[in-house]
């Protein structure tokens, strides 16, 4: 019963791309990051605002959007480059994905 209730909660809270990102982490337990283009950051907003997903660094193929050399990875943001970015689960995100995977009730 928790499985169907969870689907309802996820569908009401998150958009299509956000649910696909969560599904990718649920279906691939060893996955630590996903690549999503920075032009789609807005579509990840609720995962980010809920503390589930965080920006990690530019992905291969990203283009620097400023003058001079690109900043070190730890100083980059989704606004500092164009193209793919790597996003990872926070601790809260890992707990959410575990609850989804085990069909436990979501809070």
Compute the distance between CA of residue 21 and CA of residue 89 in angstroms, rounded to an integer: 10
Compute the distance between CA of residue 2 and CA of residue 12 in angstroms, rounded to an integer: 15
Cα-based angle 86, 34, 104 (whole degrees, multiple of 5)? 130
Compute the distance between CA of residue 62 and CA of residue 103 in angstroms, rounded to an integer: 36
What pLDDT, on the 0 to 100 scale, is given for residue 3?
66
Q: If 0-12 CB within 10 Å is exposed, 13-18 middle and 19+ buried, where does residue 18 land?
A: buried
**How do residues 22-80 score in pLDDT, each as one tens digit?**
999 999 999 999 999 999 999 999 999 999 999 999 998 888 877 888 778 788 888 88
pTM of the model: 0.87
**Above 70 in pLDDT, residue 90?**
yes
């Amino acid at each position: 019963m928790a499985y169907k209730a969870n689907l309802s909660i996820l569908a009401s809270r998150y958009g299509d791309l956000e649910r696909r990102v969560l599904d990718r982490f649920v279906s691939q337990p060893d996955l630590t990051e996903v690549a999503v283009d920075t032009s789609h950051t807005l579509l990840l907003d609720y995962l980010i605002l809920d503390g589930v997903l965080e920006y990690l660094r530019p992905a291969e193929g990203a283009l620097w959007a400023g003058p001079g050399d690109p900043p070190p990875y730890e100083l980059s943001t989704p606004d500092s480059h164009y193209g793919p970015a790597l996003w990872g689960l926070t601790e809260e995100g890992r707990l959410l994905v575990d609850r989804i995977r085990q069909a436990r009730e979501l809070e």
